[in-house]
Amino acid sequence: MGRKQLVRDTKRAALARMESAARTEEDFQAVIKQWDDLDKTRERRERAHEVRRDEDEIPLEYGRKKDGLVFPMPIVHPAGWEMMKGDFLAMIYDNAEDISQLTEDWDVFIELENLTDKQKEVLFLTAVRMCTPQQIACYKGQTDRAVRKLLAAALDSIRGYLAPVIRWQIQEGEPDVTFAKRQFLEWYDGQK
């Protein structure tokens, strides 16, 4: 047994004796003071191991305004819901290049990988960040018509690829054909 462990055990035993021997209010105040001192020491040790960050180092994209105030992500935003549930996948892949990582379906993953960078960015801002075409147009310095055209091209590409894949899955009797996929196929066939 090390010397430090022996000192800790001795102090712990002395505090236990002090607690059991306390009878007056002054004795209890002395015990409380001992416990407060131990708490202060523990907190000081914990603070020594904390990673600190100066407020000037917080990037603006974390909700910090230029005047120094920091606002948390609103709870009504889907990313806020996911954070509260403990699902951090959307936070990890929070950029347009990695939008394909946010899907579980392999076929959708492949088609999202095949989109152009501009289409990925518009789709990401629309689907994940929930921006309107007008907001995206303002952000990118384009017209909202150009943004809608990019978004429509991306969605047409994804739908055109997925419709035959879902038809094949239904014909082969694949177990992962969901009701939503069947509804999509009915809607897609109705559009033509």
Domain extent, residue 18, equals 3-49
Rounded Cα–Cα distance for residues 89 and 82 (Å): 8
Rounded Cα–Cα distance for residues 47 and 51 (Å): 8
Per-residue pLDDT band for 82 (boundaries 50, 70, 90) equals: confident
Asked if 187 and 111 sit in the same domain, the reply is yes
Q: Which residues contact 65 (CB under 8 A, 6 or more apart)?
A: 71
Q: How many domains does the chain have?
A: 2
Rounded Cα–Cα distance for residues 119 and 131 (Å): 14
How remote is the C-alpha of 112 from its chain's centroid? 21
Q: What CATH number should be reported for the domain holding residue 134?
A: 1.10.10.10
| Residue 54 phi, psi dihedral angles, 5° rounding | -70, 145
Whether residue 106 is predicted with pLDDT greater than 60 in this model: the reply is yes
Asked if 45 and 101 sit in the same domain, the reply is no
Rounded Cα–Cα distance for residues 161 and 110 (Å): 10
Q: Which two tokens stand for residue 56?
A: 């000037």
Whether residue 78 is predicted with pLDDT greater than 80 in this model: the reply is no
User: What is the model's pTM?
Assistant: 0.52
Query: Tell me: the pLDDT tens digits for 16-70?
Result: 898 889 899 999 899 999 999 888 888 887 776 665 555 555 444 444 455 555 5
Percent share of the chain, pLDDT over 90: 21
Asked if 123 and 178 sit in the same domain, the reply is yes
